[in-house]
Amino acid sequence: MTNLAKLALAYPEILLSVTCFLLLFLRLGRRGSNLPTNWPLLGMLPALLSSLYRYHDWVTDILRKSGCTFLFNGPWFSGMNILVTSDPANINHIFNSNFANYPKGEEFLEMFDILGDGIFNADHDSWKSQRKAAHALISDHKFRRFVAATSRDMVERGLVPVLSRAAEERSAVDLQDLFLRFTFDATCKQVFGVNPGCLSPSLPVVPFARAMDDAEEVLFSRHVLPRSWWNLLRRFRIGEERKMALAWEAIDYFIENQVEKKMEEVSKFREHKADPDEEMATDLLTSYLDRRPAVGDVAVESKKFLRDTTVNLMLAGRDTTGSALTWFFWMMSQHPDVEHKILEELGAILVKKQETCNRGNPVLFNAEDLTSAVYLHAALYESLRLFPPVPQEHKAAVQPDVLPSGDRVDPKTKIIVSLYAMGRIEGVWGKDCREFKPERWISERGRLRHEPSYKFLSFNSGPRTCLGKDMAFTQMKVVAAALIYNFRIRVVEGHVVAPKLSIILHMAHGLMSSGVIKRHTLRHMFKSSGVIKRHTLRHMFKSSGVIKRHT
């Protein structure tokens, strides 16, 4: 008899403990398809890394099986234990009823260091003063008119010509790239008062945009790596953190140039202003420099404040709206019945305005035209529900707390709120939660049905609700209406659509549309021939990524 056997017989409780441990460990190993195994030393990190390619769907699967809240255990001593939730009751508690206990915090500020002390990172009095100042400028009726005019102008002079050229040349086009170019031009115009011309015919390379994409990818990696690891990489500028350092330099180069030009422009305007009633430009940077709103102890005209503020505004304006439009048109390509209903709604709006297509010229819509476009509004909301531009939020408690789910949190506990998962939870949205169904947003009376913000979190919830929500949504409607009415857009058959590993829900491979037919070509065919063989049209529409609508 071995010494181990003798020990086991002498101390049966040891044998029982070892047996129970082995059985439990094996059981945990076998249940890998349900919940991630919590390994000794490594925690659940192996499961996370092995599922990184489908991160958001992996989180969704776990939350569906764990009752909407789950504690992720990171490696020992890594400080990576994270409470992940998509429970609306928890979200309402964190974002609304106990808002003061869940600021962004020091760790968030460190993780999102590239945003500086801007409004996304700010807390307490700094955040309140910045939000008050930004709200005053953004809600100004002159600025809102400026945004509406800018959006329409860039649709007319930017997006529509690019797609028309694609139709004429039957060339491939990446819709995600176009939408991000559009939102970059529009946001630069609204923030700095300049149009960088990203949608010019040559579609130039935009270093700032590339740098923003790189920075967002690194920010995502900081969420899935232990804090000490990425801090070490950052210190020595190696690995992903080298990419962040280079992106930071490119972003600051662009921003600093724009800020210096605007400061000089405002200074000259003040020196040579002859008419006291003469007004300055309406862009946000000019407004900050001209009105100098109070933002706590910080000098508004300081380059540090202006740099941080404009970086935050650029991130909010370019990336989120560009992402939302990309996923919306992916949904349109997959649901032509929804597109058809939107087209009918837009046609009815034009009938009321007594407008029709004018010799093949594109038809554009103003924000006022689209106030009655209930189905378009519902379809955009439904796309945002399934594909929120910011797929997850990061929170931390200041004081120990108990969430409505019964989970306890303390200041060392990170909290991840998964917006992406929440849109796919049956307990939140019903058994058809994974279906693209705009009708869920329309009441029996044909009006929009509103959901509480802690259930539909695309524009945040509570005191930090997005200041530019209405403007961003209006911009999306103007773009969507113009493109749906004037073009039929289809994605290349077999194109792989998957989320990118980024803090913004971009597509990893873009959204490719290839092959186009001009609208007046098909119109001429229908007029000149009484019959066109069905299989001919089927072939034409299958091979066409963008077709001008009046055809």
Residue 344: partners with Cβ closer than 8 Å, 6 or more residues away: none
Residue 394: partners with Cβ closer than 8 Å, 6 or more residues away: 104, 108, 111, 223, 414, 415, 416, 417
Q: Is residue 62 within 8 Å of 84, Cβ to Cβ?
A: yes
Q: Which own/partner pairs from 440-444 qualify as long-range (CB within 8 Å, at least 24 positions apart)?
A: 440/378, 440/382, 441/377, 441/378, 441/381, 441/382, 442/374, 442/375, 442/378
- Measured CA to CA in angstroms, residue 144 lies from 130, 147, 156, 376 at distances of 19, 5, 19, 21
Q: What CA–CA distance (Å, rounded) separates 541 from 333?
A: 12
How large is the greatest C-alpha to C-alpha distance in the chain, in angstroms?
105
Q: Is residue 244 within 8 Å of 525, Cβ to Cβ?
A: no
Three-state SS for 174? strand
- Measured CA to CA in angstroms, residue 360 lies from 352, 370, 517 at distances of 20, 22, 14
Q: What CA–CA distance (Å, rounded) separates 455 from 360?
A: 43
Burial class of 189 by CB neighbour count within 10 A (0 to 12, 13 to 18, 19+):
buried
Residue 107: partners with Cβ closer than 8 Å, 6 or more residues away: 227, 396, 414
Q: Is 466 annotated as a binding residue?
A: yes
Burial class of 249 by CB neighbour count within 10 A (0 to 12, 13 to 18, 19+):
exposed
Burial class of 150 by CB neighbour count within 10 A (0 to 12, 13 to 18, 19+):
buried
Task: Give 360's DSSP letter.
Answer: T
Q: Is residue 163 within 8 Å of 155, Cβ to Cβ?
A: no
| DSSP structure string for 525-538 | HHHH-S---HHHHH
Q: What CA–CA distance (Å, rounded) separates 362 from 547?
A: 13
| Token pair of 141 as six digits | 């009726």
Q: State the sign of the Cα–Cα–Cα–Cα dihedral 352, 355, 361, 367.
A: negative
**Sequence ranges of the binding site for heme:** 466
**Sequence ranges of the binding site:** 466
